[in-house]
Copies of this chain bind each other. A is one copy, B any other.
Amino acid sequence: MRRIRLTLEYDGTNYAGWQRQINAVSVQQRVEEALRRVTGEDGLTVTGASRTDAGVHALGQNAHFDTGCRIPADKICFALNTALPKDIRATGSYEVSSAFHARFSALGKEYRYLFYAHPHASALYANLCAHVIYPLDTFLMNLEAQAMLGTHDFAPFAASGSVVKDTVRTIDAISVTENPPFITLRVHGNGFLYNMVRILAGTLQAVGTHKLESGAIARALESKSRLDLGVTAPPQGLTLMRVDYPRELTGE
């Protein structure tokens, strides 16, 4: 048996998220079905780095699986793409050691959140961004975002119902940039709580439209209260950009 690492890109619009579910089609299910077809291994399962939500996209999802098939590792992504639907693509495949685990080996992740600030929604990019009718003050948003930097207990950024015990994470890069009508939030950290980026995006949007006073993030990190933050922004604006691993484990 060999362990294979996959890099994956998908449009999350037509899926109930990454994770396999009953009564709904997930990205994981489609990848597993395609891999079973390609390898002939009926029991093959795939482990993803991030359980992206319904409607959330990925340009740099990572996953791993074990296989006894004889296809050269770097050719598996090409074979896989012949069996995958058009809105899911394998962008790379690498043989890795059994020490590699898509989720537990991850050192960090980067997410992008795209706003489309315009009186009218976008027809062409409707599934790729969150529509905001009012102008956004990107200077204020970028300034506000910097409060995320460093190691904090991000408990107020965890969606209710989240069961994680340790809510301390480190954010080491964050920016809000503008290319009208698009406004892009990029955030990199060693890990993210469930819905953390969407709550961050909703909070920055509220600050950017002056519905929430500047300093909301610092106040929430102090008070630990979800109520000091904005609403959870919609899923379609969110894209998982990359997952970082120790260089010696990536197989690249």
Task: Mark each residue of chain A from 117 to 148: 1 if its CB lies under 8 Å from any CB of chain B, else 0.
Answer: 01111111010100000000000000000000
Of the candidate stretches A39-47, A86-94, A165-173, A205-213, the one touching chain B is A86-94
Contact: A121 with B81, CB < 8 Å?
A: yes
Residues of chain B within 8 A of A123, CB atoms compared: 9-11, 86-89
CA distance A148 to B121 in the complex (A): 35
Task: Mark each residue of chain A from 5 to 37: 1 if its CB lies under 8 Å from any CB of chain B, else 0.
Answer: 000011100000000000000000000000000
Question: What copy number does this chain have within its complex?
Answer: 2
- Tell me if A250 is interfacial: C-beta within 8 Å of chain B: no
Residues of chain B within 8 A of A59, CB atoms compared: 124
Contact: A86 with B11, CB < 8 Å?
A: no
Residues of chain B within 8 A of A88, CB atoms compared: 123
Contact: B9 with A89, CB < 8 Å?
A: no
- Tell me if A57 is interfacial: C-beta within 8 Å of chain B: yes
Known contacts A57-B124, A88-B123; can you find 14 more A-B pairs with CB under 8 A? A9-B120, A9-B122, A9-B123, A9-B124, A10-B123, A11-B123, A11-B124, A81-B120, A87-B126, A89-B121, A90-B120, A91-B118, A91-B120, A124-B239
- Tell me if A77 is interfacial: C-beta within 8 Å of chain B: yes
- 7 A-B pairs, CB-CB below 8 angstroms? A9-B120, A77-B120, A78-B120, A87-B126, A89-B122, A89-B123, A124-B239
A135 to chain B, nearest CB (A): 16
CA distance A123 to B118 in the complex (A): 26
A149 to chain B, nearest CB (A): 28
A7 to chain B, nearest CB (A): 10
Contact: A124 with B10, CB < 8 Å?
A: yes
Residues of chain B within 8 A of A9, CB atoms compared: 120, 122-124
A128 to chain B, nearest CB (A): 7
A232 to chain B, nearest CB (A): 21
Interface centre among A123, A128, A239 (most CB of B within 10 A): A123
CA distance A53 to B81 in the complex (A): 28
Question: CB within 8 Å of B: which of A160-218?
Answer: none
CA distance A118 to B59 in the complex (A): 13
Question: Whose C-beta in chain B lies nearest to the C-beta of A126?
Answer: B86
A252 to chain B, nearest CB (A): 15
A237 to chain B, nearest CB (A): 13
CA distance A244 to B12 in the complex (A): 37
